Amino acid sequence: MRVPSHIQHPVAIRSDAEPGSPGTMRTAFHLSALRRTVTFAALAWCAGFAGVCAADTQVGGALPAPPDQLYGDLFVAVQTAQIFPDQKTFVDATPNTTPTAIVAAYEAAKNKPGFSLLAFVNQYFTPPPDQSVTPPPNQTLREHIDWLWPALTRTTTSAPDYSSLIPMPKPYVVPGGRFREGYYWDTYFTMLGLQESGNEDLVDDMLDNFAYMIDTYGHIPNGNRTYYLSRSQPPFFSFMVELAAQKEGNSVYQKYLPELRKEYAYWMQGASTTSPGNASGNVVVMPNRAPLNRYWDALDTPRDESYLEDVQTAQQAQQTLGRAPSDVYRDLRATAESGWDFSSRWFGDNATLATVRTTSIVPVDLNSLMYHLETTIAHGCSITHDFLCVIEFTGNAIRRADAINLYLWNAKGYYSDYDWQLAKSRDNQTPAMLYPLFVGAAWPQRAQQTAQVVQSVLLQPGGLATSIYNTTQQWDAPNGWAPLHWIALTGLTSYGNTALATQIGTRFLTDVQGLYASQQKLVEKYVVEGAGTGGGGGGEYPLQDGFGWTNGVTLKLLDAYSPGS
């Protein structure tokens, strides 16, 4: 399995300080990625002057209004009455006339005898189309995935007036099922499979779409819907650029370098003005002045696509814990930005959604991805011979790697999230602990310790469990997810744990193959506690078929462990 050149084994540099104390090791990424254009003296200079090197650019402008703002009381009435079983259906519907006219008609009719809200919605809105597909019979798993790519590809260069859909300039792949739009972090794992299938043009199209979103809105939103614009998702754009560059050369880094830097500016807003021990937006400045990141959403209201669920969660939190609804809404939205919505990973008691505290947590996955973004920008700047930029972003990366190994290392022997408000590590063991290995920021000894925890705690007959808790949330046991398996086996392989990586990859592939053999479909998530147990469950909606990231990772696993099948 090929590991990207600039995230191969990191170099551990020991000082004369006591082993294990803060600062005794510094993880430096593979120097060839920087073309050896800077010295460690220059890097240390930049790392020591965070105010000089930190990005703090204001980005983005006015955003299109989402459905809750367009329809006001009508929106609340429809979602509260559960006109549609899935709250996402209404916000994906297309209005048949202007929102102003619809709201006026609703206000005029709602108090009249015999008024039917269902009939009103059916008159003024067109529901989103069904996305179910019927594949040909007797396809092999590989044939089925190749057949699915066109079925999941959308071209929406325009959208109906006042639709929540945001047009994209080029084609893109949707996950499938209820997910009728492109999603940020899903797309990287989908791209893996597209590239494996020879669809490099579609990889480039989706990269161009994301560059367009950054240039237009200042960031890549959760998905191309107006109700997703207040947040992003795990920042995999740098990995997408790297993936394309592996096939197309260094010109890809140069092409997307402006957008890489703009995305970094988005995530780092407030870094230079936030005092140690405090947070602003997506930034948390640690006690040692290192800026790290958290998940965050610009809004503190119920999510459009899960309005009633969020209201009910906030009511429970207020009644049982005395929490302000706005705080709960912000944490629910921040969890949606994480992609892990929902998981015990974010819960104060590891069990109850009402205790969600995502904005209080510095996540190990997000900061690992930000490290990769920093190293990718440094690499891109070396190609353009912008050496001041190389110094700046190399320093940022080294500073972040130090902070990851200081704050995001659990003394029990694995990388973990950190609760910055409680000033302590989170003990919930999840595959997120493998992200520092995935990006090359882990110290080698700690990588081995983390691998041992993964093998002893998370490894199941069907792959990796998503957590150690079964809470009925979808990002918990007994479920396993394709993207986490790819991150795990890639990270483990890069640190020499090939046997464990192979166990993880082959077990999950067997799980996917078993479900396909019995039901002729791929799904969003799988039960891994027992090989071939079936599709996963839990969460806010039923199990979805499709499925973009499962398709992509499965193709990579087939080629790695079952070539020719």
Q: Name the residues annotated as catalytic.
A: 341, 524
Q: What are phi and psi of 125, to 5 degrees?
A: -135, 145
> What are the DSSP calls for 385-446, one per residue?
T-HHHHHHHHHHHHHHHHHHHHHSEETTTEE--EETTTTEE-----GGGGHHHHHT-S-HHH
Which of 342, 279, 310, 302 minimizes the C-alpha distance to 471?
342
Q: What tokens appear for 554 in the block?
A: 């499965």
What is the rounded CA–CA span in Å between residue 2 and residue 236? 18
Q: What tokens appear for 233 in the block?
A: 């998702």
**Helix or strand or coil: residue 95?**
strand
Whether the link from the prior residue into 342 is cis, omega within 30° of 0, is yes
Q: Name residue, tokens 């930190």.
A: 54
Q: What tokens appear for 306 in the block?
A: 């899960």
Is residue 511 a contact partner of residue 141, using CB atoms and an 8 Å limit?
A: no
For the chain, what percentages of helix, strand and coil (3-state, to nearest 5) are there? Answer: 50, 10, 40
Q: What tokens appear for 88 in the block?
A: 């996402």
> Checking phi first, is residue 336 left (phi over 0); if not, alpha (psi -120 to 50) or beta?
alpha
Separate counts of helices (H) and strands (E) for the chain: 21, 19
Alpha helix locations (H) across 454-497?
Answer: 482-494
Is residue 364 a contact partner of residue 352, using CB atoms and an 8 Å limit?
A: no
Alpha helix locations (H) across 86-139?
Answer: 87-92, 99-109, 117-124
Q: What are phi and psi of 39, to 5 degrees?
A: -105, 160
Query: Position 74: which residue type?
Result: L
What is the rounded CA–CA span in Å between residue 429 and residue 293? 20
Q: What are phi and psi of 442, to 5 degrees?
A: -80, 145
| Residue 125: its H or E element | strand 125-126
Q: Name residue, tokens 């999510």.
A: 303
Which of 407, 405, 462 minimizes the C-alpha distance to 439?
405
What is the rounded CA–CA span in Å between residue 347 and residue 410? 18
What is the rounded CA–CA span in Å between residue 510 and residue 512? 5
